[in-house]
Amino acid sequence: MSSIEQLKHLAQSVGVIPTLVIDDLDHAVPLARALNEGGLSVLEITLRTPVALQAIQHIREALPSLMVGAGTVCDVNTAAAACDAGAQFLVSPGYSAALGSYCRKQQQILIPGVATASEIMAALADGHDFLKAFPAAVIGGTRWLQAMRGPFPAAQFCATGGISNNEVADYLSQANVLCVGGSWMTPADAVKNKNWSHITALARAACQARNSARHTPT
């Protein structure tokens, strides 16, 4: 099984991928541990803060069983820095041929962001079939995903952007959605106050929402 197929399998298994904005490096490992204790083992660290790359390194070292990726990867230089930090996959809000080419040469997993049919076509043409539907709530949510399923049966999605816990089941019930991403499991006040038990509880609630989407009534 290729690395991208392994990630797709894992993403579908966990169902929910937290997207983390880490401002304080001391929060990185406790935050990741709290989410993992709640049942979430794949994390996306957004590269929006000065400590984000170090956070990836610290989490990889302290919690090697987790799958840790870098988000907000918008160019080749950022991709290279994320790879050097140990990111196991990269997530971009959009897609460029240069970024796709770099990731292929480095044999690094890229999950490109798409919001239109043309962007899906460009990503698929370059060999990327696991895509980030972003910003999901703005572009049409589950109705958009349903509309894309017909013309693009090979495309599979991580839906991210404006999703709340009470919408997880609706998204995951779509045949072309492997997982959803979001930050609702890590509210800023809980992180600031180091309320790790609350974050673990939110992660468990996300897992329960995932399970409800997969439950088949007898």
From the list 5, 8, 44, 119, the catalytic residue is 44
Residue 132 among the catalytic residues: yes
Residue 61 among the catalytic residues: no
Residue 119, domain member (yes or no): yes
pLDDT tens digits, residue range 167-194?
999 999 999 999 999 999 999 999 999 9
pLDDT for residue 159 is more than 70? yes
Residue 161, domain member (yes or no): yes
Look at the chain and report how many structural domains it folds into: 1
Contact 185, 22 (CB under 8 A): no
The label of the residue with tokens 């990503």 reads 123
Residue 114, domain member (yes or no): yes
Global pTM reads 0.95
Q: How far apart are CA 68 and CA 218, in angstroms?
A: 37
From the list 37, 61, 132, 167, the catalytic residue is 132
Contact 190, 22 (CB under 8 A): no
Residue 218, domain member (yes or no): no
pLDDT tens digits, residue range 135-154?
999 999 999 999 999 999 99
CB burial of residue 189 (10 Å; 0-12, 13-18, 19+):
exposed
The residue segments making up the domain with residue 39 are 3-212
Contact 74, 44 (CB under 8 A): no
